[in-house]
Amino acid sequence: MKSNYLQTPIDYLKGVGPNRADLLRKELGIHTYQDLINLFPNRYIDRTQYYKIKGLQPNTAEIQVIGKITKFTEVAQKRGKRLVATFVDDTGAMELVWFRGQKWIRENLKLNTKYVAFGKTNAFGGKYSMPHPDLEPLEEHEKNMRSAMQPVYPSTEKLSNKGVSNRMISKIMQQIFIDTNGRFVETLSQNILSELKLISKSEALFNIHFPKSQELLSKAQFRLKFEELFYIQLQLIIKNLIHKSKIKGFPFDKVGTYFNTFFKEHLPFDLTGAQKRVLKEIRADLGSNAQMNRLLQGDVGSGKTIVAFMSTLMALDNGFQACLMAPTEILSVQHYNGLLELSKDLNISIEILTGSTKTSKRKIIHEKLESGELQLLIGTHALLEDKVKFKNLGLAIIDEQHRFGVAQRSKLWHKNTSPPHVLVMTATPIPRTLAMSVYGDLDISIIDELPPGRKSIKTVHRYDKNRLNVFRFIRDEIKLGRQVYVVYPLIKENEKMDYKDLMDGHESLSRDFPMPEYQISIVHGKMKPADKEYEMQRFIKGETQIMVATTVIEVGVNVPNASVMIIESAERFGLSQLHQLRGRVGRGAEQSYCILMTGYKLSQDSKKRLETMVKTNDGFEIAEVDLRLRGPGDIMGTQQSGVLNLKIADIIKDNDILQHARYHAKNILNKDKSLSTPENLPILNTYKSLSKYKNIWNYIS
């Protein structure tokens, strides 16, 4: 079989035709024969048993019956009509029912012809009916490639309505196997096949669509999952290798005065072992000739900022500029204030650029940046504007990068003749499985220990009826001189309701914590930036004891004196958001608390989220639970949700296969970087065709 045969447009396959081809393209994204072959079944059903109408049981299992249609009747109902067919065998009669697609059915089904009806049965008043059955003439049924386990393919309502049934898809799938003699080009090397005892590509594809037995189906699934994950890993690792060999970075040859002076004289506390390890990894990258492309993961409060600052000093020591980009103005201002404090004895020129920077100030920043006088620029998306030009940007640091799109990031790279070194920071711990699949082309550093003296935050779940006790606890903490956050959910669709919740909450708190004894700040998305900033500053300075807010304070607000975080309607938050919010407290030396408030009605998922929060403070453990509950698409957010468009593997359930796949991909590339040995020829050819026909497995962001 020619290797490009599978790139034939689906229109040309016997039994498809232009109308069906159009439907398959729109509904299932099937453009070519290859796409069809890669449409793997969702599940399988046992089609070995045939039931008699008299022996049917009142359950909703899927069954098949052989019989004839003796008549059609149209029955009026509230909306439109339903079509009912009387279906008989030698033991009795039942009804087949259609609520849509009736014209097609009347035209295509013949009376008094033997059919196999397959579907779920409903029992009513001793009579059985089967809504929207899958019908196949008995004669065809007996001729088809048949296996005990029948595949059920992904479908949509539109496909069903237009008569593109599961049986129809099975039929065109058979056609491809007839056309190709069931022979497909091998995509893995003989070494991998032998070492992992994998069945061949042809055998795997046949048994995924027409399994001969449960055992062969399992072998086919393992083989195809491994292959899918293997090529994702191969692409990511090659991407990383090419990046390192082709994209030259600026070599930072020395660790100079800025770094050494800060390290020896001004370091505010001893670095943890994890911080030292990460700095060493960054130092090695910056000293090599390749561009650094590193992801720095660290839980809330693990000390990423100081690592970022010390990396910046390495750039400055080598005569380069650096920038730090954060997703929100609040976070940018906080970074600016923090770095200003750290560098106060080092005589470094630092500025901040955000949406609210005045035009006159912007002009000065632009000039100083181009002349090289400005060494470190901190800001929001404003850094991406065309007017912002650096003299020699050597290091770009991006905080919480999942909030920036790919196009935005590449804008930053193009501000230089040569791309700067890149350090991406995130306080959202990314589960190892996801990091390997999504950020597999980045080198990953993890700060996995908290600075000494940090007490872990105590987390409890309380129901609304415990509110008086919670208020009593708040009063006690305020008496001790501490401050409190009270956070309300903010979900776009419900902005009015959320706003009302926040305002009601503020009102009831004002009654229980009256002025002048207590001062309360309020911050929400509808406020002007200046008002928001004013309220934030009052809280930071300790002028107010309680901060009532929406999730605008989720990332990066640092008030060491705040010791209590109360999260209202906690069941409406995702796990990673709850963990981020909890990280706003616990930044001082005192014991801190997080109280999750909910009503009694909780879904299973909500219960699991709350239990996880109470049980652990470990961001990575939380991220793993979050991944299991929500799946990879949601975790990566909309900007990256198409990242893992997997056909058969599941990176959560198939974590073990993923580890194997990465190990083998690395191993092969270590021995044969260009995949040029005869042994690796099938892998090279497959890799080339995957790169060429991006629409097949377009997984990688």
Better pLDDT: 643 or 439: 439
In the three-class reduction of DSSP (H, G, I as helix; E, B as strand; rest coil), residue 270 is classed as coil
Q: Are 374 and 312 in contact (CB under 8 A)?
A: no
pTM summary value: 0.62
Sign of CA dihedral 309, 315, 316, 322: negative
pLDDT grade for 636, boundaries at 50, 70 and 90: very low
Tell me what the pLDDT averaged over the chain comes to.
84
What residue segments make up the domains of the chain, in order of their start?
Answer: 3-41+181-190, 48-145, 257-287+303-426, 458-616
CA angle, 82 as apex, 77 and 85 as ends, to 5°? Answer: 135
In angstroms, what is the C-alpha Rg of the chain?
Answer: 31
- Residue 264 φ/ψ region, left for φ over 0, alpha for ψ in the -120 to 50 degree band, beta for the rest: alpha
- CB-count exposure of residue 408 (10 Å: 0-12, 13-18, 19+): middle
CATH superfamily of 458-616: P-loop containing nucleotide triphosphate hydrolases (3.40.50.300)
CA 637 to each of CA 339, 492, 560, 634, 650: distance values in angstroms, whole numbers, following the listed order:
29, 15, 30, 5, 18
Q: How far is 209 from 201, CA to CA, in rounded Å? A: 13
Residue indicated by tokens 């790279």: 413
pLDDT at 531: 87
Instruction: Say if domain 48-145 classifies as CATH 2.40.50.140.
Output: yes
Residue 3, pLDDT > 60, answer no
Q: Are 70 and 94 in contact (CB under 8 A)?
A: no
Q: Which two tokens stand for residue 274?
A: 């994890």
Range in 214-228, 432-446, 528-542 with the lowest mean pLDDT:
432-446
Q: Do domains 48-145 and 458-616 have the same CATH topology?
A: no
Length of the chain: 701
pLDDT grade for 207, boundaries at 50, 70 and 90: very high
φ, ψ at 28 (rounded to 5°): -120, 5
CA angle, 692 as apex, 686 and 694 as ends, to 5°? Answer: 100
Residue 700, pLDDT > 50, answer no
Q: Are 395 and 423 in contact (CB under 8 A)?
A: yes
Give the 3-state secondary structure percentages of the chain, helix then strand then coil, rounded to 5: 45, 20, 35
CA 528 to each of CA 69, 391, 486, 531, 550: distance values in angstroms, whole numbers, following the listed order:
70, 34, 20, 5, 14
Q: How far is 643 from 632, CA to CA, in rounded Å? A: 9
* pLDDT digit string, tens, across residues 110-151: 899 999 998 888 888 778 999 989 888 988 887 776 666 788
Q: How far is 537 from 540, CA to CA, in rounded Å? A: 5
Better pLDDT: 560 or 429: 560
Q: Which two tokens stand for residue 611?
A: 């239990």
* pLDDT digit string, tens, across residues 639-697: 333 345 678 887 767 878 888 998 999 999 999 989 999 999 999 998 988 877 553 33
Measured in Å, how far apart are the chain's first and last C-alpha atoms? 32
Residue 635, pLDDT > 50, answer no
Residue 698, pLDDT > 50, answer no
State which fold the 257-287+303-426 domain adopts. Rossmann fold (3.40.50)
In the three-class reduction of DSSP (H, G, I as helix; E, B as strand; rest coil), residue 342 is classed as helix
Better pLDDT: 550 or 460: 460
